[in-house]
């Protein structure tokens, strides 16, 4: 078997995901069934902890989508555990150097390519340890000024399968204000530089969409995978939309 998400990422057509930040099987299954190409379980900023992944990943799978787990930190133990619990891949925050990228990529691979320990529990097997090494996804987040400087070194690291830009942390690290429209020219220039580094090394680059109005511009620019929204926002928006209309009657 092959990792369908990896196939989509290499196909060239845009790939869309959404954030799971609520650690409950019912909402996770609903997100998994919504039609996105992947669900990004946010174990960095969201409420999901590693204790809940064993329930969330199968629930999302039951809905029909693969899971990527955003780790709280670039910790090999967490990457291995997320993969052993059935994630299609991991998203590793704050990758700033080649060494950071190698640490993340090798945690996801069995020897001889890496240091992943064997014990899959419900991890996805792609036939052999070598095949599994080829199929799991290690997505490195570039979201610091140092990561921007090292974008080529990160994007060319063996086993780094994609770059996900964190525009908010990147702006903060560059001394810029938080602005979800991402319109500061210095931030735009930085994001373009990362995108171009990815393109130079045939490494797909993704970004979060702060509103789906950003999607067509992002696709045109060359971003290959994007996240839109997430469970908490979807509940809030749906509920607010209804009560707003009701109050207008």
- The residue ranges that bind ligand 3PY (CB under 6 A) are 143, 166-169, 208
**Residue 111: CB minimum distance to ligand 3PY, A:** 31
76 binds, among ligand 3PY, Mg ion, none (CB under 5 to 8 A by kind): none
CB closer to ligand 3PY, 29 vs 143 = 143
C-alpha span between 19 and 228 (Å, rounded): 7
Least distance (Å) between residue 135 CB and Mg ion: 26
**Comparison of 88 and 91: residue with beta carbon closer to ligand 3PY:** 91
Output 159 or 167, the one with its CB closest to ligand 3PY.
Answer: 167
13, burial (CB in 10 Å: exposed 0-12, middle 13-18, buried 19+) = exposed
Minimum distance, C-beta of residue 243 to Mg ion, in the bound complex (Å): 31
107 and 80 in contact (C-beta within 8 Å)? yes
Binder of residue 167, out of ligand 3PY, Mg ion, none (CB less than 5 to 8 A by kind)? ligand 3PY
The residue of the chain with the least Cβ separation from ligand 3PY equals 166
Binding partner selected for residue 86 from ligand 3PY, Mg ion, none, CB under the kind-specific 5 to 8 Å limit: none
Catalytic-labelled residue, pool 45, 122, 188, 236: 45
Name the residue nearer to ligand 3PY (CB basis): 21 or 27.
21
Tokens 């199968």 correspond to 58
Residue number with CB closer to ligand 3PY (12 or 177): 177
24 included as an active-site residue: no
Distance between CA 88 and CA 95 in Å, rounded?
20
Instruction: Find which of Mg ion, ligand 3PY, none residue 208 binds, CB within 5 to 8 Å per kind.
Output: ligand 3PY
Smallest separation (angstroms) from ligand 3PY to the CB of 216 = 20
What is the smallest separation between the CB atom of 143 and ligand 3PY, expressed in angstroms? 5
84 binds, among ligand 3PY, Mg ion, none (CB under 5 to 8 A by kind): none
Task: Write out the residues near Mg ion by the rule CB under 5 A.
Answer: 143, 166, 169
Are 159 and 106 in contact, with CB atoms under 8 Å apart? yes
Known catalytic residues are 45
């Amino acid at each position: 078997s092959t990792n369908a998400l990896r196939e989509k990422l290499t196909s060239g057509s845009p790939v869309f995901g959404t954030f799971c930040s609520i650690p409950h099987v019912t909402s996770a299954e609903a997100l998994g069934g919504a039609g996105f190409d992947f669900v990004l379980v946010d174990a960095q900023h969201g409420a999901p902890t590693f204790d809940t992944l064993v329930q969330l990943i199968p629930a999302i799978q039951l809905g029909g989508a693969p899971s990527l787990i955003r780790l709280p930190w670039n910790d090999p133990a967490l990457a291995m555990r997320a993969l052993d619990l059935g994630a299609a891949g991991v998203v590793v925050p704050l990758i700033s150097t080649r060494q950071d990228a190698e640490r993340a990529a090798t945690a996801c691979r069995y020897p001889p390519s890496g240091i992943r320990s064997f014990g899959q529990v419900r991890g996805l097997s792609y036939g052999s340890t070598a095949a599994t090494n080829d199929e799991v996804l290690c997505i490195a987040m570039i979201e610091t000024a140092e990561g921007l400087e090292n974008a080529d070194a990160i994007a060319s690291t063996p086993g780094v399968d994609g770059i996900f830009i964190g525009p908010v942390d990147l702006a903060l690290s560059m001394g810029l204000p938080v602005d979800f429209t991402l319109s500061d020219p210095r931030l735009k220039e930085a994001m373009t530089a990362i995108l171009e580094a990815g393109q130079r090394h045939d490494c797909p680059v993704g970004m979060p969409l702060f509103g789906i109005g950003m999607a067509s511009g992002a696709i045109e620019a060359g971003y290959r995978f994007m996240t839109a929204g997430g469970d908490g926002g979807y509940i809030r928006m749906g509920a607010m939309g209804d009560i707003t209309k009701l109050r207008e009657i």
